[in-house]
Amino acid sequence: MLPLCELDTLETGRARRVLIGSVTVLLVRTGPDTVHAYLNRCPHLGIPLGWQDSQLMSPDGVYLQCSTHGAQFVTTTGECISGPCLGDQLWSISCTIVDRHVLIEEHELPTPKRT
Ligand code: FES
């Protein structure tokens, strides 16, 4: 498990980007002791949902949202419920809380492409 941050640095209804090597993970706190992690990659075009933390959520703070075409995703499942990739899923990464630290399963991240 890879530690990313302390739980108390995450606000409910907001998401944060965390850079791990060449990939960016989104962390979204969905409850007092619950955090979900996703790859910052929209299933529509394979580009980041947002390039700034302030672009990652719908204005009401309920859904993750793509800043390019407005697709919205359920924070607890990553399912797209509106937009051009309706029914698709964000790339989910297992996330757990240990001693109020947020950890993810590093092996679930995409492997870098070799050329
Ligand atoms: S790139 Fe995300 S909705 Fe089009």
Q: Indicate the number of domains in the chain.
A: 1
Instruction: Please give the share of the chain, as a percent, with pLDDT higher than 70.
Output: 97
Residue 78 within a domain:
yes
Q: Mean pLDDT for the chain?
A: 94
Residues 54-109 pLDDT 10s: 889 999 999 999 999 999 999 999 999 999 999 999 999 999 999 999 999 999 99
Ligand 1 atom nearest residue 47's Cα: 1
Which pLDDT band, with edges at 50, 70 and 90, does 7 fall under?
A: very high
Domain residue limits at 77: 2-108
Distances (CA, A) of 115 to 6, 14, 57, 112: 36, 36, 34, 10
Is residue 113 in some structural domain? no
Q: Which atom of ligand 1 is nearest to the CA of 66?
A: 2
**Is any atom of ligand 1 closer than 6 Å to the C-beta of 107?**
no
Ligand 1 contact via 68 beta carbon (within 6 Å): yes
Q: For residue range 96-108, what is the model confidence (pLDDT) as tens digits?
A: 999 999 999 999 9
Structural element, H or E, at residue 109: none
pLDDT score at 111: 83
Q: Which atom of ligand 1 is nearest to the CA of 69?
A: 3
Specify the CATH number for the domain of residue 104: 2.102.10.10
* Residue 65 contacts residue 42 (beta carbons within 8 Å): no
pTM for the model stands at 0.94
Shortest-distance Cα residue to atom 4 of ligand 1: 69
Quick one: pLDDT at residue 82?
98
Question: What distance in Å separates the CA atoms of residue 75 and residue 38, rounded to the nearest whole number?
Answer: 9
Distance CA 102, CA 32 (A): 12
